[in-house]
């Protein structure tokens, strides 16, 4: 792994948007702001703060303006927001966001379930957002179900290439390839990411994985080997898709940072700080979180050696 030691990996936090949006409890505005401020001090490259959607549609993020206006802007950290339409884009730009994120699915069925329109209709709407955003913020398009759809099954790689080509042709600056329901496998991820990277080498590419079937970190590693250096992740593994049956949370931020750090990659992120923040999540959302490193500690952690009497009293063995 000698070549990986100089590779920079950019970790982009989505828990306060992608995670909180499906929680049944409303996380108070002040607690959201405090968490975002603390996350910004850990060395993360970007934080997706909120979504400027209808409060009736996503009541958990009804405080979008209040949060965006009152957070501390840590130098070097990009603050992004998801927007569903032109009105949402206007609201986000009025708050001075660094990045606008729009979403469209590779599959028609998921796009209809998620956005109540076809992908083609979404692209027409996005073209208006491109014009509205020009010169005011970085514009990123998230391609949902890029690696599989719960309704339609496999998504051909040609479809992914077609959609990314449409984004590039519209003047969009960055694209996120999203495994919305955790259907991807490492070989597929490597092949798709490598194809997109080779076709559009100057495009800012992000990989966004869910851990629904336990392959999130393996997929992230495969994407990095294909040349992807930007990854979305969610503190504690919060998240999921309300319009995708069985879609559990995003890949856990502290677990991802732990993996890349242990392999010698440079994430620039304070793992200890992330772990301490992850410990606060159950108190915010009212339930345990699926992250592993917060429970076991990093692999560099060393426990006291048990004395012989303690060892003799144990009847179990470890592999």
* pLDDT single digits (tens) 250-306: 999 999 999 999 999 999 999 999 999 999 999 999 999 999 999 999 998 656 776
Exposed/middle/buried for 266, CB within 10 Å: 0-12, 13-18, 19+?
A: middle
- To the query of whether residue 241 is one of the catalytic residues in this protein, the response is yes
Find out whether 39 and 298 touch, Cβ atoms under 8 Å.
no
Query: Which class is 2-313 in CATH?
Result: alpha beta
Rama region for 227: left / alpha / beta (φ>0; ψ in -120 to 50; rest)? left
Does the pTM surpass 0.85? The reply is: yes
Find out whether 29 and 49 touch, Cβ atoms under 8 Å.
no
Residues of the chain above pLDDT 90, percent: 84
| Options 149, 178, 193, 241, the catalytic residue | 241
Around Cβ 260, how many Cβ atoms within 10 Å?
23
d(CA 74, CA 76): 6
Task: For the chain, give every domain's residue range.
Answer: 2-313
Using the Cα atoms of residue 105, residue 110, residue 111 and residue 115 in order, give the sign of their dihedral. negative
* pLDDT single digits (tens) 138-172: 999 999 999 999 899 999 999 999 999 999 999 99
d(CA 77, CA 267): 13
Find out whether 235 and 32 touch, Cβ atoms under 8 Å.
no
Report residue 44: phi and psi, to 5°: -65, 150
């Amino acid at each position: 792994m000698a070549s990986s030691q100089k590779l920079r990996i950019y970790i982009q936090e989505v828990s306060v948007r992608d995670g909180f949006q499906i929680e049944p409890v409303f996380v108070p505005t002040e607690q959201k702001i405090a968490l975002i401020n603390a996350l910004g001090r850990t060395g993360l490259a970007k934080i997706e703060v909120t979504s400027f959607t209808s409060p009736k549609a996503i009541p958990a993020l009804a405080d979008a303006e209040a949060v965006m206006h009152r957070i501390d802007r840590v130098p070097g950290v990009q603050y992004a927001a998801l927007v569903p339409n032109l009105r949402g884009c206007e609201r986000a730009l009025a708050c001075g966001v660094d990045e606008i994120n729009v979403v469209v699915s590779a599959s028609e069925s998921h796009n209809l379930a998620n956005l109540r329109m076809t992908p083609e209709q979404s692209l027409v709407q996005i073209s208006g957002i491109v014009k509205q955003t020009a010169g005011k913020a970085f514009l990123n398009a998230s391609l949902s179900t890029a690696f599989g759809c719960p309704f339609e099954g496999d998504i051909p790689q040609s479809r992914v290439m077609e959609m990314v080509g449409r984004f590039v042709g519209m003047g969009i600056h960055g694209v996120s390839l999203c495994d919305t329901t955790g259907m991807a496998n490492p070989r597929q991820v490597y092949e798709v990411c490598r194809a997109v990277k080779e076709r559009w080498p100057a495009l800012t590419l992000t990989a966004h994985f869910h851990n629904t079937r336990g392959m999130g970190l393996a997929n992230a590693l495969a994407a990095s080997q294909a040349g992807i250096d930007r990854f979305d992740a969610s503190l504690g593994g919060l998240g999921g898709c309300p319009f995708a049956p069985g879609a559990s949370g995003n890949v856990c931020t502290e677990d991802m940072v732990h993996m890349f750090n242990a392999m010698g990659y440079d994430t620039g992120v304070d793992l200890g700080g992330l772990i301490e923040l992850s410990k606060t999540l159950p108190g915010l959302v009212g339930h345990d979180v699926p992250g592993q490193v917060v429970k076991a500690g990093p692999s560099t952690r060393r426990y006291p050696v048990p004395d012989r009497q303690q060892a003799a009293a144990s009847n179990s063995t470890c592999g």
